[in-house]
Structure 1
Amino acid sequence: MSRVLACILPLLALTLVSCGSADDATVSVAVIGEEDPLTGEGLRLSVAGQLVRSATREGLVTLDASGEVVPAIAERWIVTDDGLSYIFRIRNSDWPDGTPITAPAVRDRMRQNLAALRGTSLGLDLAPIAEIRAMTGRVVEIRLTGPMPGLLQLLAQPELGLERGDTGAGPMLAEPAEAGVSLAAVPPSSRGFPQPEEWQEFYRTVLVQVAPAEQAVAAFDGGDVNLVLGGTIVDLPYADTGGLSRGTIRLDAALGVLGLDVMRDEGFLAETANREAVAMAIDRDQLMQPFNIGGWIATTRIVAPGLPDDDGTVPERWIDLEIEDRQARARARVEAWERASGEDLTLRIYLPQGPGADMLFTQIARSLAEAGISSQRADNPGAADLVLKDRLARFAGSRWFLNQFHCRITEGPCSPGADALVRQSLTVASRTEQASLLAEAERLMLAENLFIPLGAPIRWSLVRGGLDGFNENRWSVHPLFDLAERPI
């Protein structure tokens, strides 16, 4: 039995016999999640699906272990002075069947990807792309309607990976395993790179499986996997159980949104001032205390503070009020509504199942109780007044945050006025004017109080000591190919 097969077979029960250290031939990765087709063809990818897609179907550019944009199918690029044109030179490389990768093929596949992404939040992010054209056999140009500093970051997303037929250009090939997939490096020569003798010795096989958080942590603690990825606040307490002496808990300083979506503007939540009362009552400074997380960034804004296009005109809210004063004001609005309606106020809140979600709900409910609001845990999003939104940013721009609440994709009430301002920002040439329009859109969303921001999302991993190819980064992106490369 081969070494790889010997490692794969026991993965079925997540109790595999360890296949050696991270310096040996295999790196075993458990991605937290439910049962999932790792090589699925759709656009709605899980964390594990994104990892495998990125490893097997690279785009023009990709992200490295530090979250930096690096060349992939494009070997280099230039940006025109006005920021409206990105020109990429395609690497002299081949598809897996030996067919050369050409600029017309890249153009066609990119157009297909953009068409397929219409109606999604990523499609909204890519809206400034006006045209994709092949300038020569190996040069592709992307033209924009307005400046878009986050374009390269978006082009590195797994949904923008390129393929021919049903196969990508690597840098890895996936083969089914008993409980996941086995990924091996594509020969460097097919990717347009010099190929040394016995090049396989420079790479390790990466075995990827999906498992619930508790099982993934148990497998790591037992020495059966080298790396656990995909942890969120929902399952963070699992990382604090067991010995874990052979590895380290690693937290990404992630960029994104964590908060509560208002799912229905009726009853108490029909009035903007009442929705503000809910947002005002939550004590964000105490929210993460049970999790013992240092450096967590709380916010009352929709857009993460301090982004490159943040013009500084949207402040944090209620900064002149102590939490007790905020909760007292909220309580006055609750009492007024209860007198007028003759009802006792209870809000139904949906969070996914998990010990971290239980702790978060307890903290939120405690704050709301100080404002006279009773909280009840909803069984599903459809039965809830408020639903947890927990998403990672695709690029560091205000537009990404605002697009998460676009009327075209949200399931709850929305702000057509804010959408119109974001749409207007796509065609202005001045970055200053663009930032001003986006700030105005955020102010409008905040005034309508259809989302209750809490702070930055939480993402964690478990990393075996001595494992190379893993770095924390703000995107919480941990490429499998970087794990496959042996340290030199």
Structure 2
Amino acid sequence: MPLSRPIALACAAVACLLAGCSGGRDDLVNVVFIGEPEEFEQTGLRLSPAAQHLRAATAEGLVALDATGGVVPAVAERWVVTDDGLSYIFRLRNSRWSDGTQIEAEHVRDELRGILRRLRGTSLGRDLDKVSEVRAMTGRVVEIRLTSPLPDLLQILAQPELGLRRGGEGTGPMAATETEDGWLLQPRPPETRGLPEVPEWNERIRQVHVRALPARAAVDAFDAGEADLVLNGTLANLPLADVGALSRGTVRLDAALGLFGLRVRSGEGLLGDAARREALAMAIDRPQLLQPFNIGGWVPTTRIVAPGLPDDIGTIDERWSDLSPEARRTLAARRIAGWLGAEEGRTARVTLALPQGPGSDLLFSGLAEDFAAIGVALERADDPREADLVLVDRVARYGGARWFLNQFACDLRGGLCSPEADARVEEALSAQNPMVRSALYAEAEAELAASNVYIPIGAPIRWSLVRGGVEGFRENRWNIHPLLPLAMRPI
């Protein structure tokens, strides 16, 4: 008879223990991204998490992110920033393109200019709006000039989409070969990338195989010892991460920075007024909403911009802090009832699009209960384009208010927006004084909050499964886990 899932997992775990549980080889690290195989495709401007990691491994930018999420040298071996913060000057290391030609400043300048052109009209492109010029100063020196200081420029330049390529080929720390079900990555010797030679390099590194699987299949592969690392877990599939006491792996949570909430797409009917949209936001019991997930340390928020960022001047507080949850819901229910009673035949109903998964089912149930408490029926929508509300679950690129505000820019057409907020962000582009910039960002957040085009819930949830013996994995707030450190053998 077929084994039940718990018994099958137990047998697989015991077999894994007896076999050493390394996927059958100690010279290969098997990495699975939760997703679909086509997510490794690198066409288009918005890369999936799987494609981001593949791009970062094969095409470095001027700088890169290390395993802790910190900015480190890459194609640029060092840099200086002028005192006014308006010029970043990069010295390129002595390295070559994949075809063997020397990497020159003119090549880097042309590639960066092309990337900036292609990113126009995207949120990442808006993050780089302050770049006024990219110049090749000498053979190995590149300058980036800004219209006003951008303290997060290095963090933005480290994004995988800013990886430098020539003829579609990059100069990353790993060489990739496509396989039947994914990609095989081989660490490149440091001396081939303009870096000092590392003694016994081949003995210190392993190959990394990456592939993509749906969430349940990814967890099953980990259970069976066919994967050493599972990446890109979200709240939608978090309930699948409990793989039992016999598993030698552990669930690791990134304290991710970013957005997790509901974007309002429809401005008609019940959602046609900011006060009624606010009623939905007031109805949500945020701490209770995520209680079923038992996530330690997760902090709910009613703010759009994450609290406590370096450019947070402290003028924006959590909303409705002077009202108890019961008082908030009473006020919200009154607004909904007033709208229902103003015209015969009205129904208080909204639709919500969520990704598939058991976590999404739990989230929907909690939200439906909260909305029902104020007289609003919540229904599930399959197509986000036809839904009144959509879930925003996005990790930040950098820790600045500007990133959060740019996600709701009107020209991105992701849903309802605030032209007034956009105007304040635009003003900040030319502001030289950091306090003035921060004040403009605070005004923009206040405008967005008043328009209630986004209903914040808290920070995004990202989880991984990591087997013992995998080196180089570190939790970080950007949910970026470079593949080269994973290739290092345990010492």
> Under TM normalisation by the shorter chain, which class is it?
over 0.9
AA aligned to 2:166 is R
Task: Check conservation: 1:220, 1:228, Cα contact below 8 A.
Answer: yes
Alignment of 1:454 with 2:471, yes or no, is: no
| Structure-2 separation of matches of 1:24 and 1:160 | 33
Which residue does the alignment assign to 2:477?
474
Offset from partner CA, 1:141-183 (integer Å, 9 cap, x none): 1111111111111000010000111110011111011200000
Offset from partner CA, 1:374-416 (integer Å, 9 cap, x none): 1111121122111101111001000000000001113322111
Which residue does the alignment assign to 1:164?
166
AA aligned to 2:486 is L
Task: Check conservation: 2:21, 2:225, Cα contact below 8 A.
Answer: no
Query: CA separation of 1:316/1:479 partners in 2, compared to 1, >3 Å: closer, same or farther?
Result: same
Find 2:438's aligned residue among 435, 438, 452: 435
Which residue does the alignment assign to 1:123?
125
Cα distance, 1:372 vs structure 2: 1.2
| Structure-2 separation of matches of 1:170 and 1:273 | 50
Which residue does the alignment assign to 2:74?
72
Offset from partner CA, 1:400-456 (integer Å, 9 cap, x none): 000000011133221111111101101110000000000000000100000001010
SS at match of 2:412: coil
Query: CA separation of 1:39/1:19 partners in 2, compared to 1, >3 Å: closer, same or farther?
Result: farther
Cα distance, 1:201 vs structure 2: 1.9
| Structure-1 separation of matches of 2:403 and 2:351 | 28
Task: Check conservation: 2:173, 2:188, Cα contact below 8 A.
Answer: yes
| Structure-2 separation of matches of 1:413 and 1:40 | 29
SS at match of 1:468: coil
Task: Check conservation: 1:259, 1:452, Cα contact below 8 A.
Answer: yes
Alignment of 1:416 with 2:419, yes or no, is: yes
Correspondences of 1:317-332 after superposition (within 5 Å): 317-332=319-334
Instruction: Tell me the matched-pair count.
Output: 473
| Structure-2 separation of matches of 1:37 and 1:228 | 15
Task: Check conservation: 1:313, 1:439, Cα contact below 8 A.
Answer: yes
Identity of aligned residues (%): 58
Correspondences of 1:172-211 after superposition (within 5 Å): 172-196=174-198, 198-211=200-213
RMSD over aligned CA atoms reads 1.6
| Structure-2 separation of matches of 1:244 and 1:292 | 20
Cα distance, 1:233 vs structure 2: 0.4
Which residue does the alignment assign to 2:8?
none
Offset from partner CA, 1:225-277 (integer Å, 9 cap, x none): 10000000011011024456211000000000000011111101111110110
Task: Check conservation: 1:118, 1:124, Cα contact below 8 A.
Answer: yes
Alignment of 1:359 with 2:373, yes or no, is: no
Cα distance, 1:22 vs structure 2: 10
SS at match of 1:420: helix
Cα distance, 1:371 vs structure 2: 1.0
Q: TM-score, normalised by structure 2?
A: 0.94
| Structure-2 separation of matches of 1:244 and 1:298 | 32
Single out whichever of 415-424 and 35-44 deviates more from structure 2: 35-44
| Structure-1 separation of matches of 2:125 and 2:105 | 22
Alignment of 1:145 with 2:147, yes or no, is: yes
Correspondences of 1:8-407 after superposition (within 5 Å): 20=22, 24-36=26-38, 38-196=40-198, 198-243=200-245, 245-342=247-344, 343-407=346-410
What runs of 5+ residues in structure 2 fail to find an aligned partner? 1-15
Cα distance, 1:188 vs structure 2: 1.6
AA aligned to 1:407 is C
List structure 1 segments (4+ residues) > 4 angstroms apart after TM superposition.
none
Q: TM-score, normalised by structure 1?
A: 0.94
Single out whichever of 243-252 and 148-157 deviates more from structure 2: 243-252
| Structure-2 separation of matches of 1:116 and 1:422 | 22
SS at match of 2:196: coil
Task: Check conservation: 2:349, 2:376, Cα contact below 8 A.
Answer: yes
| Structure-2 separation of matches of 1:147 and 1:277 | 38
AA aligned to 2:454 is F
SS at match of 1:36: helix
Offset from partner CA, 1:19-45 (integer Å, 9 cap, x none): 837992110000001231525233221
Cα distance, 1:197 vs structure 2: 5.8
SS at match of 1:311: coil
| Structure-2 separation of matches of 1:39 and 1:339 | 51
Cα distance, 1:198 vs structure 2: 4.8
What runs of 5+ residues in structure 1 fail to find an aligned partner? 1-14
Cα distance, 1:194 vs structure 2: 2.5
Task: Check conservation: 2:234, 2:461, Cα contact below 8 A.
Answer: yes
| Structure-1 separation of matches of 2:198 and 2:271 | 65
Task: Check conservation: 2:23, 2:225, Cα contact below 8 A.
Answer: no
SS at match of 1:234: helix
Which residue does the alignment assign to 2:4?
none
Query: CA separation of 1:480/1:354 partners in 2, compared to 1, >3 Å: closer, same or farther?
Result: same
